[in-house]
Structures are given as C-alpha cells and as structure tokens.
C-alpha cells in the first residue's frame, strides 16, 4: 500500500518528536487521554443537542491496556471517532489555532533555541516520543466504516479500512526499545501508568480504566474524576483541604489559609489557593519559582504558571481551572493572554482581601504568616521602584514600643498624638537592642510610639514608601527628628550651642573625616552621646549595603551628638579652656562609644582600649 506523505510542517514536528531528548516524555499519555476525553465531550454534546443518541454520561470511558510481550500500550475511547477524511486531515497535518506562531517556534526549536515540547501541548504527535509505531483505529459515530491510520515515522503513514464494532478511537502505541539513556519499558508498567494518570489526568470527567489491574481482573478506575475544587464548598472539610494541600505540595504543615473561589463572568474560573504554614526551604533563594497550576476544564496544562501571581504574593500555592483557556495554549501566548491577566488581577485582589481579613480577625495567626512571608511583602514594596507599594503597605506589621502585638501602619497613625508629625521607626539587630537605643528615649518620654525594624530590607522599604497617610517616616537616628519645640526652648538650645562652640569645634576637628558634624542634642536622656545620620543614607543602610559582596563601600554622613544635659558636657567645656588636647582624646573615645552603641565596629580597638586604660591609671 502506498505511503501517504505528511504535510511539511507535520513532518518536521514529527521529526522533532521522534528524535526528542525531552525529559518529560511521559506527557504523551496526558495528550492522548485528553484527546479521548475531547472526543467523548463532542459526542456527549451531540447527544445532548440531538437528544436521540441513546447515550448517557455513564456509558463513556477511556480504557488503557498493556501487552508487555508485544510492547504495546492501547488507549481506547468511545467518543465521536474519526472518518477517513478526518483522520487524514487531523493526523496528517498540524491543525491548531496558533499555527503561525507555532511554526516560527518550530524553526527556533530546530535551531535548538526553544523547548517546543515544554512550551506547547504537542498533542497527538507526542506519541512518537515513546513509540516506534502508532496505530489509530477509528470509527466515527453513526458511520459503518472503520479506518486504520498507521505510521512508523516521518516518512509517511498508511490509511486502510479495518474492523471495529463500536464508535470511538483505539490508539495502539508500540513502545520503543530501551536505550542506555532511556527506559521506555516503564510505560508498560501498571504502577507507572497509574501514577501518570493520577498526576496529569486525575480530574478527567470520564473514568480512565486500566484493564485487568483491578480486583479479580476487572478494570481499575485510575482517576477520581471530580476535582476537589469542583466539589461544593459545603461538602468539604478543613481536613479535606489540608490533606489535598499536603499531598499535592509535599508539605508537612497545614496551610495557614485556604482560598477556594468560583468566579463567573467574562472569564470564568475556579481557584483553589493555599497560603503555606511555612516558607519552603528555597523560598528566599534564586531557585524558587512562583506559579500556580493551570487547568483547562480539569486537564492540567501547566505545572507552574508564573503569570497568575504577582511577585509579592509568590508564596501562594494552588491552582486555577478555567474552561475559557484552550488546552494547547503556549506559555508564550499565555503571557499576552488577556483572560489570564484578568484572572491574575482578580486573584491578587482576592489574596489581599483574605490576608487583610486574617490581619484584622486573627492577629496571632497573621503574625505567624508574617514571620514567614513578611519579608517578601517588604521586598514587594521596595521592588520596581515602589510600583506596588500602595497595594502592599496595608499588609505590613511591625513590632512597636507601645505593645507586644505587632501593629499596622494604619493603627500607628490612628493613635498618634496631636503634636506628633512623623511616623518614628528605629532599626537594629533585635527588638531588645533597639529598645535600649539612646535615640529612642526622648520619643518614648514624649509618649510617641516607635516602630521597631529588624530586617535588612526594612529601611529601604520605608524610604520607598516615603509617607503613610501623608505622615512622613522618620528614623530615630536621623539628625533632624522634627520634634515640636517652643520658641523658648529653641532660643535656649541656640544659646547653649553658642556657649559650647569652642568644645564642639575642637571635637569636630579631632574627628575630621569620621563625622561631618558634632553638635548638641536634646534627644538623649541618660546617655552621653549618640550617632545620627544626615541625608538619605542611614547607618543601618550603610551596614546592609556594606555587607553585600560589592567592591565599593558606602558611608553614611555621620553626626556625633552630645547630650546637652549630660555632665560630660560641662567636663568638656572646662577642659576646652585648660587642656584642649584632652578634649581631642575624649572626642575619639566618645565617638567610639557611639559606634559601639550603634552596633558598629570601633575603628581601632587597640587604640581605644589603650586610651581607656590610660584613663584608669589616671595618666
Ligand atoms: P488538539 O487536541 O489540540 O486538536 P491533537 O494533535 O491532540 O491536537 O489532535 C489533533 C486532532 O486529531 C484533534 O483535534 C481531533 O480532531 C483529532 N483526534 C485526536 N485524537 C482523537 C480521538 N481519540 N478521537 C477523535 N479525534 C481525535
Ligand atoms: Mg489534543
């Protein structure tokens, strides 16, 4: 019998499949089962519209059968089947909606640039990744004829008449011989087939049966048919969700929150989302890939679709199932897909809404969530030049000087005293350490609340936000605290500054190159000195930036501030008259002390301890 030639494009795709070194060859089964399911859908639809086919939903199935000796795997459906013409048309050419795009992709795939198989559902031809020969026997519904299509490769196919009792399609794959680098025989093992059906086709709405593997040799139904997310919410318990989550995502901890939502509209979809109870090991590493599983009417089309989640919610796991997406849509096309964008936006809103609810109703659990993923939210504020900050800032919580529980920015602002101008925050290694910072004393005395920040990213995020509800953020270590003071107080401190001019100048000279300024401060109560920073770069940010593996180190503009009500000031003033050299020595000491309090290294520890020792000896 004369061989028929494949159309040019099909031949090229087939070549690609036959010679494929693609690692996920197993997806062929998903593709063939989906085709079977589609064929049944078509017939079922016809039975609904014609009303006289005598078919009921229960009569449909997809059957799998293995013959190890003959090395065959057979996939049979009792769907609509194909006529001779349809076989020629459907199996001899690539007939897909995005074919133009597909063709260019194929050119690139041949050039080795594109992983075409990973990007596209490659459909029927994927069978050739694992088969040396493919035989399709089909009888169209309502037809008397059966046709047999067969191909062993890219050089062509044959089409001849055959025998089949009932409508539907039977596809027999002759599985390739094993090679040193590929074990094809696994596709003839029950356990492997069972696992693949579970993995990719569990929720196909018709039973997928494996011949002879059930009890007493009956066929075993491999798929559960109704996806959990398609069940009524009222029929599902927390335990159902938790078990599903843990099995599917290999997590030991229950999710903190489950979001199960059905949306009907321009784009209809069901989403089942989980906020994990803990961050995965690689979450904050480069290796982590965000994304949700994407299903089209119960058939999984993508394992991780990144376009469904904004980065700041990348910790969310779960899936989206939509009947409005086609099975063979490519990743490339997905990115530009309007429907997908619409879904993403709605999901983002939904996730935020659920998190806000948790924040307001169950602060303890929210804090737990925030312990794992708060960092990601802060990155989200900072990233992309703060583009998303407005969406995220309501979700931030901070430790505070006012209470044990963490507080939101809105809560902070709502209880600011009348005269308070700014949102004060303090950065440091730990809450305890920040709490002891000299710079916080005067603010606490005034009854101002201070937000305590311990993450490296904190201050960067705060600077990106700039303000919250029109209140500026102000670091307690900034050189201008914008504290309200009376005219009288101002005059008083100016006078004091004038009187100390001489001391301050000597000290400034002694600390040349280390600090930009030495001045008196009102902000300290018990401590003699502190360091503050002028301008946008704070001491904390300096630490963070210099801890990064970059050549160029940065330095904040430091200001040494001396407590204007501390006895040390009088000592210094007296010394300035008698022994200016000593003032210089003390300047160095006080500067070192300030560094230590800030948690910064002393520049010359040996010299520092020598000077202290000299003082002790009373030199
Ligand atoms: P797609 O499913 O995206 O259309 P495929 O390559 O998987 O692409 O299949 C090509 C076409 O072959 C299908 O559109 C369908 O018309 C036909 N086909 C494949 N398998 C079957 C089947 N089991 N029963 C009926 N028609 C089928
Ligand atoms: Mg298909």
Interval between CA 454 and ligand 1 midpoint (Å):
57
Interval between CA 71 and ligand 2 midpoint (Å):
24
77 CB-side CA count, 13 A = 26
CA 525 centroid distance within chain: 46
* Atom number of ligand 1 nearest to Cα 75: 23
DSSP string, 326-340: -TT--HHHHHT-HHH
> In this predicted structure, what is the pLDDT of residue 102?
58
> In this predicted structure, what is the pLDDT of residue 200?
83
Report which protein residue has its CA nearest ligand 1's atom 20: 35
Query: In terms of Cα–Cα distance, which of 563, 558, 573 is closest to 506?
Result: 573
The ligand whose atoms approach the alpha carbon of 122 most closely is 1
Interval between CA 182 and ligand 2 midpoint (Å):
25
Please give the structure tokens belonging to residue 205: 């709405």
Interval between CA 89 and ligand 1 midpoint (Å):
10
The ligand whose atoms approach the alpha carbon of 10 most closely is 1
List, as ranges, residues with CB under 5 A of the ion ligand 2. Answer: 35, 123
Report which protein residue has its CA nearest ligand 1's atom 14: 90
Quote the mean pLDDT of the chain. 88
Please give the structure tokens belonging to residue 408: 């939101």
* Atom number of ligand 1 nearest to Cα 42: 25
> In this predicted structure, what is the pLDDT of residue 103?
62
pLDDT in tens, 535-570: 878 888 888 888 877 778 888 899 999 998 899 999
Interval between CA 378 and ligand 2 midpoint (Å):
43
> In this predicted structure, what is the pLDDT of residue 50?
74
The ligand whose atoms approach the alpha carbon of 167 most closely is 1
Q: How far apart are CA 436 and CA 408, in angstroms?
A: 22
Interval between CA 301 and ligand 1 midpoint (Å):
16
Interval between CA 127 and ligand 1 midpoint (Å):
12
Q: How far apart are CA 16 and CA 154, in angstroms?
A: 10
Report which protein residue has its CA nearest ligand 1's atom 4: 96
> In this predicted structure, what is the pLDDT of residue 308?
93
> In this predicted structure, what is the pLDDT of residue 20?
72
Q: How far apart are CA 14 and CA 573, in angstroms?
A: 91
450 pLDDT band (50/70/90 cuts)?
A: very high
The ligand whose atoms approach the alpha carbon of 91 most closely is 1
Report which protein residue has its CA nearest ligand 1's atom 23: 36
CA 301 centroid distance within chain: 19
The ligand whose atoms approach the alpha carbon of 96 most closely is 1
Which is more confident, 577 or 108? 577
Q: Is pLDDT at 116 greater than 50 in this prediction?
A: yes
* Atom number of ligand 1 nearest to Cα 326: 3
Interval between CA 45 and ligand 1 midpoint (Å):
16
Q: Which long-range contacts (CB under 8 A, 24 or more apart) does 573-580 make?
A: 573/499, 573/500, 573/502, 573/503, 575/503, 576/502, 576/503, 576/506, 580/506
Q: With helix as H, strand as E and coil as C, how does 211-280 read?
A: CCCCHHHCCEECCCCCCHHHCCHHHCCHHHHHHHHHHHHCCCCCCCEEEEEEECCCCCEEEEEEECCCCC
Q: Is pLDDT at 99 greater than 50 in this prediction?
A: no
Q: Is pLDDT at 519 greater than 50 in this prediction?
A: yes
Task: Using most ligand atoms within 8 A of CB, pick from 74, 98, 124 the residue to mutate for ligand 1.
Answer: 124
Interval between CA 51 and ligand 2 midpoint (Å):
27
Q: Is pLDDT at 100 greater than 50 in this prediction?
A: no
> In this predicted structure, what is the pLDDT of residue 447?
92
Give burial (CB, 10 Å; 0-12/13-18/19+) of 98: middle
Interval between CA 401 and ligand 2 midpoint (Å):
61
Neighbours of 500 (CB within 10 A): 21
Q: Is pLDDT at 318 greater than 60 in this prediction?
A: yes
Q: Is pLDDT at 210 greater than 70 in this prediction?
A: yes
Query: What are the residues facing 462 on neighbouring strands?
Result: none
Weakest-pLDDT range from 50-54, 305-309, 528-532? 50-54
* Atom number of ligand 1 nearest to Cα 328: 3
> In this predicted structure, what is the pLDDT of residue 97?
39
Report which protein residue has its CA nearest ligand 1's atom 16: 90
Interval between CA 124 and ligand 2 midpoint (Å):
6
Which is more confident, 465 or 224? 465
* Atom number of ligand 1 nearest to Cα 80: 25
pLDDT in tens, 40-80: 988 887 777 776 667 777 889 999 999 999 999 999 999 99
Q: Is pLDDT at 139 greater than 90 in this prediction?
A: yes
Interval between CA 84 and ligand 2 midpoint (Å):
18
Q: Is pLDDT at 96 greater than 60 in this prediction?
A: no
Report which protein residue has its CA nearest ligand 1's atom 5: 123
Q: How far apart are CA 433 and CA 454, in angstroms?
A: 10
Interval between CA 113 and ligand 1 midpoint (Å):
27
Which is more confident, 480 or 229? 229
> In this predicted structure, what is the pLDDT of residue 286?
84
- Asked if 422 contacts 474 with a C-beta cutoff of 8 angstroms, the reply is yes
95 pLDDT band (50/70/90 cuts)?
A: very low
Please give the structure tokens belonging to residue 271: 């989403």
Query: In terms of Cα–Cα distance, which of 177, 176, 152, 189 is closest to 68?
Result: 189
Task: Using most ligand atoms within 8 A of CB, pick from 7, 10, 33, 38 the residue to mutate for ligand 1.
Answer: 38
**pLDDT over 70, % of the chain:** 92
Report which protein residue has its CA nearest ligand 1's atom 18: 35
Weakest-pLDDT range from 31-35, 200-204, 345-349, 468-472? 200-204
> In this predicted structure, what is the pLDDT of residue 483?
73
pLDDT in tens, 250-303: 788 999 999 999 999 888 999 999 999 999 888 988 889 999 998 887 777 778
Sign of CA dihedral 226, 227, 230, 231: positive
Mean pLDDT of 92-111: 59
If DSSP codes are grouped into helix, strand and coil, which group holds residue 63? Answer: strand
> In this predicted structure, what is the pLDDT of residue 332?
57
> In this predicted structure, what is the pLDDT of residue 112?
61
The ligand whose atoms approach the alpha carbon of 94 most closely is 1
Weakest-pLDDT range from 86-95, 373-382, 534-543? 86-95
Mean pLDDT of 33-45: 88
Which is more confident, 155 or 238? 238
The ligand whose atoms approach the alpha carbon of 97 most closely is 1
Residues with CB under 6 A from ligand 1: 31, 35-36, 38-39, 77, 79-82, 90-91, 96, 123-124, 169, 328
């Amino acid at each position: 019998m004369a061989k028929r030639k494949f159309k040019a494009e099909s031949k090229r795709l087939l070549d690609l499949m036959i010679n494929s070194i693609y690692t996920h060859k197993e997806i062929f089964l998903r593709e063939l089962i989906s085709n079977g399911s589609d064929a049944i859908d078509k017939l079922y639809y016809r039975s609904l519209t014609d009303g006289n086919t005598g078919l009921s939903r229960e009569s449909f199935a997809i059957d799998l059968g293995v013959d190890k000796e003959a090395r065959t795997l057979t996939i049979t459906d009792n769907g609509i089947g194909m006529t001779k013409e349809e076989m020629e048309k459907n199996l001899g050419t690539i007939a897909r909606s995005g074919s133009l795009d597909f063709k260019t992709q194929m050119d690139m795939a041949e050039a080795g640039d594109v992983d075409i198989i990973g990007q596209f559902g490659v459909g029927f031809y994927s069978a050739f990744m694992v088969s040396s020969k493919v035989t399709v026997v089909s009888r169209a519904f309502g037809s008397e004829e059966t046709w047999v299509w067969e191909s062993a490769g890219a050089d062509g196919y044959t089409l001849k008449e055959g025998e089949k009792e009932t409508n539907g399609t039977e596809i027999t794959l002759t599985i390739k011989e094993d090679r040193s680098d590929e074990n094809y025989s696994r596709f003839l093992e029950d356990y492997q087939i069972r696992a693949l059906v579970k993995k990719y086709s569990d929720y196909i709405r018709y039973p997928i049966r494996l011949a002879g593997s059930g009890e007493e040799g009956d066929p075993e139904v491999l798929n559960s048919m109704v996806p959990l997310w398609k069940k009524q919410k009222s029929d599902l318990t927390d335990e159902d969700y938790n078990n599903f989550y843990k099995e599917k995502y290999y997590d030991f901890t229950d999710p903190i929150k489950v979001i199960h939502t059905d949306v009907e509209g321009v784009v209809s979809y069901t989403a089942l989302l989980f906020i994990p109870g803990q961050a995965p090991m690689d979450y904050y590493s480069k290796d982590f890939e965000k994304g949700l599983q994407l299903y089209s009417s119960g058939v999984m089309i993508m394992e991780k679709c990144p376009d469904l989640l904004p980065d700041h919610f990348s910790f969310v796991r779960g899936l989206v199932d939509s009947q409005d997406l086609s099975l063979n849509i490519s990743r490339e096309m997905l990115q530009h897909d309007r429907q997908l964008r619409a879904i993403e936006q709605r999901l983002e809103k939904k996730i935020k809404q659920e998190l806000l609810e948790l924040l307001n109703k169950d602060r303890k659990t929210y804090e737990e969530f925030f312990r794992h993923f708060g960092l990601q939210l802060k990155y989200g504020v900072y990233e992309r030049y703060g583009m998303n900050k407005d969406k995220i800032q309501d979700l931030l919580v901070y430790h505070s000087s006012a209470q044990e529980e963490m507080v939101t920015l809105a809560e902070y602002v709502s209880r600011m005293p009348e005269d308070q101008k700014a949102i004060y925050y303090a950065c440091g290694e730990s809450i305890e350490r920040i709490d002891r910072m000299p710079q916080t004393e005067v603010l606490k005395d005034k009854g101002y609340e201070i937000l305590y920040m311990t993450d490296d990213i904190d201050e960067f995020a705060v600077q990106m936000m700039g303000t919250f509800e029109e209140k500026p953020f102000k670091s307690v270590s900034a050189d201008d605290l914008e504290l309200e003071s009376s005219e009288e107080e101002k005059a008083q401190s100016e006078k004091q500054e004038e009187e100390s001019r001489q001391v301050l100048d000597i000290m400034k000279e002694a600390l040349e190159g280390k600090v930009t300024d030495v001045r008196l401060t009102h902000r300290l109560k018990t401590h003699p000195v502190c360091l503050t920073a002028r301008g946008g770069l704070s001491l904390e940010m300096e630490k963070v930036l210099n801890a990064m593996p970059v050549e160029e180190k940065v330095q904040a503009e430091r200001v040494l501030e001396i407590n204007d009500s501390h006895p040390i000031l009088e000592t210094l003033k007296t010394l300035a008259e008698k022994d200016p050299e000593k003032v210089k020595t003390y300047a160095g000491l006080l500067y070192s002390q300030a560094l230590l309090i800030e948690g910064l290294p002393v520049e010359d520890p040996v010299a520092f301890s020598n000077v202290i020792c000299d003082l002790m000896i009373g030199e």
